[in-house]
Amino acid sequence: MKKLRIMVDIDDVLNNLLDRWVALLNKKHNLSANAQDLKIWNVQGIYPSLTVEAVYRPMYENEIWGMLSPRPTSVEYLKRMIDDGHDVIIVTAAVYQTLPAKMDWLFAAFPFLSWENVIIARRKQLIKADVLIDDGVHNLEGGEFFKILMDSPNNRDYDAEGNGMVRVYTIKEAYEAINKYLIGEKPDGKAIF
């Protein structure tokens, strides 16, 4: 089987950040915004009455990181990628203030990962890899890797297929897309090449 370098984003790919962020803002400000109404990659889009500081404050407080859960299938299938021999790299655009809490969450939820599996970067297109799994279209565009777009309310109107991306809803589907398009496995699990 071909061994690949697979980059995976954290927020809203491996966890449920958007849902928890919106729930926390709704509770703190007595509002009723819905994460599914977010049409652009900017949470302030569903909170026009809040300042930028108020919207992004939860990202800099440790409370939100304790509220997150791994997305369905993410633990099992990320581990499976590693067990298959792939070089799995977690790539996140964390800022200095949130990095310790974010990494504590990551290593608790995915105990088979370590700092050797992590790269902090905003310009993910500069990293040499075979695959990127991300919910941010801006991270996938222009990269020289197989592009897997994790479905999210902010990218639902984006033509993934027309822009050379495969849209998935879970890490299991991402794993299957990698096997189908890059490794070319037959139904019996043996690689085509």
Weakest mean pLDDT among 12-16, 54-58, 175-179: 54-58
Across the range 71-97, mean pLDDT stands at 94
Domain presence at residue 102:
yes
If you search the block for the tokens 């309310």, which residue do you land on?
Answer: 153
Across the range 101-121, mean pLDDT stands at 96
Domain presence at residue 148:
yes
Tell me: do 143 and 85 sit in the same domain. yes
Domain presence at residue 172:
yes
pLDDT band at 63 (very low <50, low <70, confident <90, very high): confident
Domain presence at residue 193:
no
Tell me: do 85 and 143 sit in the same domain. yes
pLDDT of residue 183: 75
Across the range 162-173, mean pLDDT stands at 97
Residue 63 CB burial class (10 angstroms; 0-12, 13-18, ≥19): exposed
Tell me: do 86 and 38 sit in the same domain. no
Domain presence at residue 74:
yes
Domain presence at residue 126:
yes
Tell me: do 112 and 131 sit in the same domain. yes
Reply yes or no on whether the pLDDT at 185 is more than 70: no
Domains contained in the chain, number? 2
Tell me: do 30 and 122 sit in the same domain. no
pLDDT, tens digit, 9 for 90 and up, residues 149-162: 999 999 999 999 99
What is the percentage of the chain residues whose pLDDT exceeds 90? Answer: 76
Tell me: do 74 and 61 sit in the same domain. no
pLDDT, tens digit, 9 for 90 and up, residues 21-49: 999 999 999 999 888 888 877 888 889 99
Q: Are 26 and 32 in contact (CB under 8 A)?
A: yes
Q: Are 34 and 22 in contact (CB under 8 A)?
A: yes
If you search the block for the tokens 């400000």, which residue do you land on?
Answer: 29
Domain boundary among 67, 85, 107: 67
Domain presence at residue 33:
yes
The H-assigned helical ranges of the chain are 17-29, 52-56, 74-83, 99-109, 137-140, 171-178
Tell me: do 82 and 168 sit in the same domain. yes
Q: Is 83 a catalytic residue?
A: no
Weakest mean pLDDT among 7-11, 46-50, 139-143: 46-50
Tell me: do 84 and 21 sit in the same domain. no
Across the range 68-96, mean pLDDT stands at 95
Q: Is 104 a catalytic residue?
A: no
Tell me: do 112 and 127 sit in the same domain. yes
Cα 82 from Cα 3, distance rounded (Å): 10
pLDDT of residue 2: 83
Q: Provide the domain limits for residue 38.
A: 17-67
Tell me: do 119 and 57 sit in the same domain. no
Structure tokens of 47? 């909170």
Tell me: do 123 and 79 sit in the same domain. yes
Handedness of CA 19, 25, 26, 32 (dihedral sign): negative
Q: Which one is predicted more confidently, 121 or 189? A: 121
Question: What is the average pLDDT score of the chain?
Answer: 91
Tell me: do 63 and 84 sit in the same domain. no
Residue 106 DSSP code: H
Render 10-50 in DSSP notation, one character per residue. Answer: -TTTTB-HHHHHHHHHHHHHT----GGG--SS-GGGG-TTS
Identified catalytic residue from 11, 12, 19, 134: 11
Give the CATH number, domain containing residue 111.
3.40.50.1000
Residue 27 CB burial class (10 angstroms; 0-12, 13-18, ≥19): exposed
Domain presence at residue 188:
no
